[in-house]
Amino acid sequence: MSSIHSAVSPLAPTQPVEIKGKSLWDHAWIRLKRDRMAIICFSIIVFYATVALLAKMGLIATPWSDVVGASYQAPSSGDMRLWLGTDIFGRSVFYKVIHGTRIAMSVGLVTAVIAVPVGVVFGAVAGYFGGWIDEVIVWFYTTLSSIPNIMLLLAIAYSLGKGITAIYISLIATSWIGMARIMRGEFIKHKNREYVIAADSLGASNFSKIFKHILPNVSHFIILNFSIQFISAIKAEVILSFLGLGVQGEPSWGVMIDDAKLELARGVWWQLAGATTAMFFVVLAFNILGDSLRDALDPKIK
């Protein structure tokens, strides 16, 4: 194995987790339940998800595009729609923040839900089978990761012609690599473990060895990676919007922050404050929850 390919993950335990999948998770669950911080963070995420869902169904903050006041009206109490003031067209910034949640959550979810399984499959196949399959997959992701992320993001977003789909695809295309790396490393470690060899001698197929035997033993990496991907997707959406490749005609946090670039000089800080604060709490919740999960799942760091 040429080690340009070897992923150095500081998070990877040097010793494998030899406990059966189920008990690992039981164990983790008990520990998580005791972690009050994790519970709070989980609630925050559920709250954001609910807000996003309700906004999607048109039950709250509708319609966001209505003019509710003068252009750039400062925040005021009373009318909920004016809590965070208005934007250039006199639309409610508060409503825009809520609808931005919808975009952010869907960008995070779609990216993570697609990128993580793609990464798992590629990483697992590469690590398990080795040989030329491994060489090809590793070549492919090394190539992609040798190109600056932002260059890839922009190029893909430009070539697909903007909008939310372009954002999904460019984020997925760049974010499966991390997962694939970790999975490949784990599968290389695990494939010669006794329990796999035992399964092999019992006549288990490759498919069942990969998915039934090894995967449950490395599943905690998937959960961790999921939360990492979720966060980085939300952040990347902001950066893409800032660079002019954002969602069109819908209020996303990124577009709001991009607007703020022009508005700060006018003393209009509420779009920036609204969008950054909303983003801050959900990212913070994911970060803390991710940490708690890792601690809970990794028996060595207590």
The reply to whether 62 sits near another protein by the rule CB under 8 A is no
Q: How many angstroms separate the CA atoms of 294 and 220, rounded?
A: 8
The reply to whether 34 sits near another protein by the rule CB under 8 A is no
Region of 112-120, 160-168, 187-195, 204-212 interacting with another protein (CB under 8 A)? 160-168
The reply to whether 147 sits near another protein by the rule CB under 8 A is yes
The reply to whether 44 sits near another protein by the rule CB under 8 A is no
Per-residue x/- marks for another protein, 224-243, CB under 8 A? -----------x--xx--xx
Select 46 or 150, whichever has its Cβ closest to another protein: 150
Select 46 or 284, whichever has its Cβ closest to another protein: 284
Near another protein in 68-127, by CB under 8 A = 71, 88-89
Separation of first and last alpha carbons in the chain: 34
- Count of residues engaged in binding another protein, rule: CB under 8 A: 67
Q: How many angstroms separate the CA atoms of 183 and 8, rounded?
A: 12
The reply to whether 287 sits near another protein by the rule CB under 8 A is yes
- Among residues 156, 171, 180, 210, the one that binds another protein under rule CB under 8 A: 156
Select 156 or 215, whichever has its Cβ closest to another protein: 156
The reply to whether 280 sits near another protein by the rule CB under 8 A is yes
Longest Cα–Cα distance of the chain, Å, equals: 75
Q: How many angstroms separate the CA atoms of 247 and 268, rounded?
A: 22
* Secondary structure of residue 217 in the 3-state scheme: helix
The reply to whether 132 sits near another protein by the rule CB under 8 A is no
Q: What is the DSSP string of 223-259?
A: HHHHHHHHHHHHHHHHHHHHTT---SSS--HHHHHHH
- Among residues 23, 146, 192, 201, the one that binds another protein under rule CB under 8 A: 146
- Among residues 73, 106, 219, 276, the one that binds another protein under rule CB under 8 A: 276
- Among residues 50, 76, 142, 206, the one that binds another protein under rule CB under 8 A: 142
Q: How many angstroms separate the CA atoms of 302 and 293, rounded?
A: 12
Say if residues 301 and 16 touch (Cβ distance below 8 Å).
Answer: no
* Helix ranges (DSSP H) in 85-130: 93-129
Say if residues 89 and 66 touch (Cβ distance below 8 Å).
Answer: no
Token pair belonging to 44: 């925050």
Nearest C-alpha neighbor of 90 from the set 64, 72, 63: 72
- Among residues 96, 263, 270, 296, the one that binds another protein under rule CB under 8 A: 263
The Cα-based distances of 296 to 25, 199, 229 in angstroms read 9, 28, 19
Q: How many angstroms separate the CA atoms of 274 and 93, rounded?
A: 8
The reply to whether 199 sits near another protein by the rule CB under 8 A is no
The reply to whether 56 sits near another protein by the rule CB under 8 A is no
Region of 6-14, 123-131, 186-194, 213-221 interacting with another protein (CB under 8 A)? 6-14
Which parts of this chain interact with another protein (CB under 8 A)?
Answer: 1-4, 8, 10-11, 14, 65, 71, 88-89, 139-140, 142-148, 150-152, 154-156, 158-159, 161-163, 235, 238-239, 242-246, 248-249, 255, 257-267, 269, 272, 276, 279-281, 283-284, 287-288, 291, 300-301
